[in-house]
Amino acid sequence: MINDRLSSMSAPPESKKIIALSSHAYIGLGSNLDNPIQHVRAAFKELDEIADTQLLEQSPLYRSAPVGPAGQPDYINACALLQTTLAPLQLLDALQAIENSHQRVRKERWGARTLDLDLLLFGQQTIDTQRLQVPHPYLAERNFVLYPLVDIGIKAHLPSGEPIAKLKQASNNAGLERLEKNS
């Protein structure tokens, strides 16, 4: 009886994404090569094109001093809030596919890159595998993550319950410059 009712319901229009049993995922975006603003803006659009995923919010862009090897150009950073029905590793695969489409090369740790997409938070999950650690292990130490993250997720918190806004208050904004939203 229930199956008959379900099969007689009309399907939703193709243009409307419906996310059931979904999770919120916060993504950190960064680029410091080959027109980084363009790479980050394009990545926002590409995040919204991931199957079974919807871009809910995007932060303003920030310019930050590089972390890692000396001599790198400054980074452009931002954060995005996604709603997805994908499992964490499926989402990670999709993020890495987007990085690869931007000719991301992984030569040296914390080296310059065309695009870096980090899965910062996934619902209230704590994940610790060889491929993925959530919350991102350096989230609390990086102002270029905390500031844009609070811009879109003022109520976000770690699985431990610690508010992201509190982590931001404990950090400083040295080397960080908020750019105009449409820069």
Domains of the chain, residue spans: 25-178
Taking only the tens place, the pLDDT of each residue in 69-123 is: 788 899 999 999 999 999 999 999 999 999 999 976 666 666 678 899 999 999 9
Which residues are known catalytic residues? 104, 113, 116, 118
Q: What is the pLDDT of residues 41-74, one digit of tens each?
A: 999 999 999 999 999 999 999 999 988 778 889 9
What's 24-60 look like in SS3? EEEEEEEECCCCHHHHHHHHHHHHHCCCCEEEEEECC
25-178: which CATH number, 3.40.50.2020, 3.30.70.560, 3.30.300.30, 3.40.718.10? 3.30.70.560
Distance separating alpha carbons of residues 24 and 105, to the nearest angstrom = 28
